[in-house]
Structure 1
């Protein structure tokens, strides 16, 4: 039987495609991955290399008490406008590892290994830090912004020993004074505040034996790292300006939580702000400054890696995430 030219071409195409089809079928039988790749992201501020190292995230049902001065349905609507679920809230956590060329500096430490054992979605800082190539024994300084569990619990291992055994631990002087004051602890209301006092005493007394160095605002506490007063979230809450050469980034700690809804609605008060009115004033003051000076913003609770620019948008702010850069 003699094939026409069209039939011959069709047969050749079918033969050529056959190995591809077989390969596709074979690869489909591979087991699916059950976890994400290690989460870290690097960029430079002048000569300083910054590694954002994810500690994971925490998702919980949205409750009336989460934002104390807004209705739950209004908060839900704001989340949905940002294409987020309206019935849950997600908080992200992103400590930093800064290589100044002479020192390795960690800023905040995440929820800690016990959180990792409990829920598997946060407390990931230690393993992601190792994946990023950092040895905790080689860390020279650990800088703490404030004494909430998601910032200090990673100071200890699961066994209760220092996670960064050779590092100097720097803490805000005002924050240290408040949480280490026995009178303040005795007056703390039952519930969350008493739990925070208990946790901080466990971290800094039992774990670190109070071997810390308090620091003051307005001073450079590590190479290129200036401590900035941003109180309200806690009495000694601190943010930072990291500078090198012409590069500058504002490290905001917890000036806001997740930008949706706290950047879009800076007047909303979260239950975890210790002095909500002061926290709001600080939020507006700092964000107006960031907008005016066109500073790059690094945010602990923004979706990973938390690097963005801001612009004013009515009564709130619009967050413009920095695009991913394959180069450092």
Structure 2
């Protein structure tokens, strides 16, 4: 081909001229920066402005029980097929700040200040990235919590246990609140992760917020244009949302799936984080069939940043088609 011949001739000419090109020092003129830019991304849903504000990403060794009903080799093969390294997982976290025009609403709050210190900044970035996005936590009117796992509620408090969103009303799913604040449920919880979750939720909501929360019901708007939707299984009161403005909508799925390259492509897999794996699977299939049928955009909390896309059927499973990045809002 002509293009190949031209490239070859160009390469030969460059080599011939090489003795006459002054050599430069291998030392870089400027030291590498060594850090990412603040991570936030804005898009519009009708007249509503959505800011996806990253809380960072956590990388850890792949445990044998990360997927409860699949072999580790199968999980590794799925990672490799997605061009991801074997034997490790990276999970992303992406809370939202939504400006409805009349209200500034935050959905979930990330891992919090303690996790930021413990991971040397890998997670717990939400507060800093909010500031970088010119969003002052004091101006947040409403914080909406989808469920009571630490990566969603711990960012409600500062490192010294004070409310981050001092002027905001904190809304929580009524079913979720009833479960985690029930002393009987806490006494029956298995030792380890489940007991730790109960204790952490008491720390955040009883000690930190002093129970200054308002439970909400499914099927109702919790903020202008934001409809709460039952998506249980991951937790007993796990909640997702439909954000609407005019004819435009997006489904905010919270933790209906974890990492999409595992749990969107393999909807029958049960994550170790799912409290009721069978129910979580049933919910996942129902939600994703709806997203496909309605061609509804989805915002994923654990999708790679910024986590916005569409879902299409892929045989017996599904596939995420990421929304194209836009330089304008």
State the TM-score, normalizing by the size of structure 2: 0.92
Quote the Cα distance in structure 2 between the aligned partners of 1:315 and 1:160. 46
Alpha-carbon deviation of 1:137?
A: 0.4
Deviation track 1:149-205 (CA, whole Å, cap 9, x = no partner) reads 000000000010100000000000000000000000000000000000000000000
Instruction: Name the residue aligned to 2:211.
Output: 210
Instruction: Name the residue aligned to 2:267.
Output: 266
User: Aligned pair 1:113/2:113, yes or no?
Assistant: yes
Pairwise mapping of residues 1-328 of structure 1 onto structure 2 (< 5 A)? 28-119=28-119, 120-328=121-329
Alpha-carbon deviation of 1:95?
A: 0.1
Alpha-carbon deviation of 1:28?
A: 3.1
Quote the Cα distance in structure 2 between the aligned partners of 1:29 and 1:50. 39
Instruction: Name the residue aligned to 1:6.
Output: none
Alpha-carbon deviation of 1:323?
A: 1.0
Quote the Cα distance in structure 1 between the aligned partners of 2:103 and 2:81. 43
Quote the Cα distance in structure 1 between the aligned partners of 2:305 and 2:147. 20
Quote the Cα distance in structure 2 between the aligned partners of 1:208 and 1:27. 53
Quote the Cα distance in structure 1 between the aligned partners of 2:279 and 2:26. 61
Q: In structure 2, do the counterparts of structure 1 residues 27 and 39 end up closer, same or farther at CA, with 3 Å as the change threshold?
A: farther
- Gaps in structure 1 of 5+ consecutive residues: 1-13
Quote the Cα distance in structure 2 between the aligned partners of 1:167 and 1:248. 25
Quote the Cα distance in structure 2 between the aligned partners of 1:231 and 1:161. 30
- Gaps in structure 2 of 5+ consecutive residues: 1-16
Quote the Cα distance in structure 2 between the aligned partners of 1:233 and 1:285. 14
Quote the Cα distance in structure 1 between the aligned partners of 2:36 and 2:74. 33
Quote the Cα distance in structure 1 between the aligned partners of 2:63 and 2:27. 44
Q: CA RMSD, aligned part only?
A: 1.6
Deviation track 1:123-159 (CA, whole Å, cap 9, x = no partner) reads 0000000000000000000000000000000000001
Quote the Cα distance in structure 2 between the aligned partners of 1:163 and 1:221. 20
* Matched pairs, number: 310
Deviation track 1:36-73 (CA, whole Å, cap 9, x = no partner) reads 00000000000000000000001111121111100000
Larger Rg: 1
Quote the Cα distance in structure 1 between the aligned partners of 2:60 and 2:222. 36
Alpha-carbon deviation of 1:27?
A: 9.6
Quote the Cα distance in structure 2 between the aligned partners of 1:196 and 1:63. 20
